[in-house]
A and B are shown apart, each in its own frame.
Chain A
């Protein structure tokens, strides 16, 4: 069975600072994908970044980067230069070879302060 653990229910960060949101995963499948989504209070889930289990380099997308440590089974999201609009719930999720069934963590509520 697949499992995603996000241990930070809430995080605060000052505007323009960097922040790291933690995610650890568990799967026995050697092929998997890790995803981060942002969910503002409006409810829509916005895809941010993807990392595949065989990718040699950490994924980056603009201000988002994924710190992928395969041996530790962690896939932390780093947001650089935080903005007020980054305040939202962030979910880590995993896909394995068993079809399009995303397994989600419990999420981290991020608040960016002035």
Chain B
């Protein structure tokens, strides 16, 4: 079974631009979560999508948004990029059945975004 895929793997943008990152979950997985990883803040939860609906949201400004399609693929968008948005963006998928605290998340390789 193919793992979680993320595109693109690397991205360089300038301040003020916007960017869209894509994530394809493991086949059959219904939940997609996004995380931001930076040296200073560590790993932080952005949001989770399940059945095309945002189910959870982290503490990020409205410039960060996402969506999920009917095939469970997800995109996240960052508008008006700032230097501090430079990070590794990780997407994770899970089956989302049963109790949520048992739901193992499997991660993709990440998209490394550099904002100049």
Contact = CB atoms under 8 A, between A and B. Distances in A.
Interface string B90-116: 101010100111111111111010000
A100 B104 contact: no
Interface residues of B, number: 29
Contact of B48 (A31, A37, A99): A99
Contacts of A85: none
A47 interface: yes
Contacts of B110: 43-44
A8 to B, nearest CB: 15
B101 A33 contact: yes
A91 interface: yes
Given A101-B33, A107-B42, A47 B103 contact: no
A41 to B, nearest CB: 12
A23 to B, nearest CB: 14
Interface in A69-108: 91, 93, 95-104, 106-107
Contacts of B63: none
B64 interface: no
Given A44-B107, A97-B100, A100-B100, 11 more contacts: A33-B102, A44-B109, A44-B110, A47-B104, A47-B106, A47-B107, A95-B102, A100-B31, A100-B103, A101-B56, A102-B35
